[in-house]
Structure 1
Amino acid sequence: MQRISQGYAAALAATVIWSGNFVVARAVADMIPPWQCNFWRWLVALLALLPFAWKHLAADWPQIRAHARYLTVQAILGVTLMNTLIYKAGQTTESLNMALLVPTAPVVILLLSRILYGEAISPRRLLGVCLVVAGVVILVSRGDWERLAALRLNSGDFWALGGALCFGLYSLFMRRRPAGISAFGFNAALFALGLLCALPFTLAEAVLLPLPQATTPVVVSVLYTGIGCSFLSFWLWTLAIDRIGPVRAGIVYYSLPVFAAAASVVILGEAIVRAQIVGGALVIGGILAATLHAPGRRGRA
């Protein structure tokens, strides 16, 4: 029971920290290009992680070499591509579109878990997902259905869907994480491999586009996303999937729009409307319905 509680707590903590990434993205969208933003973010994360991971790397190295192909795939999905695609999406798509598309990652996890691993989608879990989806729609639209009807897909929406797909696949494949690699060693390997894969594209972007200025908003944003959204949150997410699996962790991830809305109120001074309160309540209720065990049915979801 303690192991499960730790898993849910870690997934929730990671989601809370990730929610601030949307506020950061809005603040620096025109200040730093996507590949460079992503690269500096992960470089900061790797530098923050190394003092903790260094003593584990020697013991983990044989397993890291043995599973280099798996680690490279995970690094490309979780480090090289995921946030780069989301930052790219933010240049051309509306914030409402982004808020609707990014939380689709748990749906990817749920469906692929069924297809690839035969994991059952129970009525309770399906009901919870439906409640969460309804809550997310109400939350981000603020109950204004005309806003939803007026949405039009553009190139940025497809970039956002690509980022959500990368996160879903990354989380799903985390169940194959080699048991012989520590969490610190695993994340250090992923961060380094992801940076290596991103380096050619980052250099090309730096040549083709103006270099970003090291202004206070840019530096603070890179530090927040690097230390908080990357170093700390990815360690928490690894812990969560180890404890409760990718599907349940993914359902907790649905609460991200709730915390993103709260961050917008606190940091940007945006007002909360009644529809957002209703949407947030549906999201929380759906997560509880999908993840908590019914009395007398422990072990089933």
Structure 2
Amino acid sequence: MQQNKWVKLAVMLPLIAVFIWSLNIAVTRYVADYISPVSISFYRWLVAFIVLTPVMLPKVWQQRQLVALHWRQFAILSAFGMLLYQGLAYSAAHYTTATNMGIINAFIPIFTIFVSIIILKEVPNRFAVMGSLVSFLGLLYVIAQGQLQALLHLGGHWGDLLMIIAVFFYAFYGVFLKKWQLKVPLMISLYVQIGFSLIYHLPFVLWLGIDRLDMQNTASVLYAGLFASLIAPWVWMLAVERLGPNRTSIFMNLMPIFTAILAYFWLHEAWTMHHTIGGIIIITGIVMAQIKARQVQSETIESTSMINK
């Protein structure tokens, strides 16, 4: 009886993590009017780096030989996961809705399957192929707002295209994690990747400039740097430890739903019939694709969700 009670409480852990990441998507859309993509991306990782440094810097120094051995992998992971994914997501927020961003973000497992073909030479099974096609049709339906002929006007979907590219880069991040399987503590890996991310941001900051923090954007920066970058990954790791990767990974499918609800009540974004129909199609395809691919996903889910969302 006591064990069942703790299992029920553990179920709250992935729900909390997914809620934090979903809220971060809404925050990203909200703050787009008050701070540039380069600025919030740089500030986000700077906040996380400052908070982690007192604890992690001594540990990194102790493990410096291990870190030096894998510095190239850390640099690549940081480029794909923190610079390209997050940077493009912040840029996409200027041109699309949080609802659409949440729906497109759910495509990470689908894109991961196809990136695995390129990097890992893994041949997808028929469920993965059919599920991917179904999900892609659902995504097109959402982007076109139920009118597929509207896809011909690509200018009106610039933000959605940026978000699709961002999610595609994040799929590379997950596949690289599986390919390399670095024997490095997760928090050390996260800290070093954040450090590389700050270095990557410097040329953009020097070239484009950086916005000042003020009353309108500071709270959003702190939320992204503390909750989305540190607290949510920590809670997610606890969930993986207590529930296992398979059970935990299922909760990721709630992100589009949480994001849509938050965007509806906070940002006053409309949830329309094309969102409902397209969302059902997308989730159906994702479930189909994971029927045989769940074991592959479970091997990387603990690390893949470290930096998001």
TM-score normalised over the length of structure 1 = 0.74
- Equivalent position to 1:83, from 83, 86, 93: 86
**SS in structure 2 at match of 1:152:** helix
Letter in 2 for 1:280: G
Q: What one-letter code is carried by the residue in structure 2 that aligns with 1:79?
A: M
**CA separation in 2, counterparts of 1:279 and 1:13?**
25
Question: In the alignment, which residue of structure 2 is the partner of 1:265?
Answer: 264
In 2, Cα distance between the equivalents of 1:73 and 1:284? 30
Q: Cα distance, 1:75 vs. partner?
A: 1.4
Shift of residue 168 of structure 1?
A: 1.9
CA-CA distance at 1:121 after TM superposition? 1.0
When the two structures are aligned, how many residues end up with a matched partner? 283
Task: List alignment gaps of at least 5 residues for structure 1.
Answer: 1-7
- The answer to whether residue 32 in structure 2 is matched with residue 33 in structure 1 is no
The percentage of counterpart residues that share the same residue type is 26
Alignment of 1:218-229 (within 5 A): 218-229=217-228
Cα distance in structure 2, aligned partners of 1:111 and 1:118: 10
Question: How far 1:31 sits from its partner (Å)?
Answer: 1.4
For the 8 Å contact 2:85–2:167, the answer to whether it is kept is yes
In structure 1, what is the equivalent of residue 170 of structure 2?
A: 167
AA aligned to 2:80 is L
Alpha-carbon distance between aligned partners in 2 of 1:200 and 1:168, rounded to the nearest angstrom: 25
Contact 2:102 2:255 in 1 (8 A): no
CA distance in 2, matches of 1:21, 1:157: 17
Q: Which residue of 1 aligns with 2:307?
A: none
Show the counterpart of 1:119.
Answer: 122
Offset at residue 88 of structure 1 (A)? 2.6
1:132 to 124, 135, 148: 135
Structure 2, unaligned runs of 5 or more: 1-10, 298-309
Q: What's the Cα RMSD here? A: 4.0
Q: Which residue of 2 aligns with 1:212?
A: 212
Q: 1:195 and 2:194 equivalent?
A: no
Distance of 2:114 and 2:217 partners within structure 1: 37
Q: CA deviation at 1:234?
A: 4.9
Aligned CA distance change for structure 1 residues 90 and 274 (closer, same or farther; 3 Å)? closer
Alignment of 1:49-68 (within 5 A): 49-50=52-53, 53-54=56-57, 56-68=59-71
Q: 2: CA distance between counterparts of 1:300 and 1:168?
A: 13
- Contact kept in structure 2, 1:36 and 1:205, CA below 8 Å: no
Letter in 2 for 1:285: T
1:3 corresponds to: none
Correspondence for 2:8: none
2:92 and 2:214 mapped to 1: Cα distance? 23
Say whether the 8 Å CA contact 1:135–1:280 is kept in structure 2: yes
Query: Which amino acid counterpart does residue 281 of structure 1 have in structure 2?
Result: I
- Which deviates more from structure 2 when the two are superposed, residues 148-157 or residues 67-76? 148-157
Q: In structure 1, how many angstroms separate the alpha carbons of the residues matched to 2:120 and 2:235? A: 24
CA contact (8 A) 1:72 1:193 kept: yes
Question: Partners in 1 of 2:179 and 2:85 — Cα distance?
Answer: 19
Letter aligned with residue 198 of structure 1:
H
Call closer, same or farther: CA 1:161–1:269 in 2, change over 3 Å. Answer: closer
After superposition, the Cα gap between the structure-2 partners of 1:58 and 1:85, relative to the gap in structure 1 and judged at 3 Å, is same
Relative distance call for 1:300 and 1:190 in structure 2 (3 A) is closer
Structure 2 residue aligned with 1:183: 186
The alpha-carbon deviation at position 300 of structure 1 amounts to 8.9
CA 1:127 to 1:11, structure 2 compared with 1: closer, same or farther past 3 Å?
farther
State how far apart, in whole Å, the 1-side matches of 2:279 and 2:157 are. 27
Contact 2:135 / 2:281 at 8 angstroms: preserved in 1?
yes
**Per-residue deviation, 1:227:** 1.8
Cα deviation, 1:101-160, whole Å, max 9, x if unaligned, reads: 655544442112112222231122223333433444445555455654544367656644
Aligned counterpart, 2:3: none
Q: Which residue does 1:277 correspond to in 2?
A: 276
Q: How far apart, CA to CA, are the structure 2 residues paired with 1:139 and 1:36?
A: 30
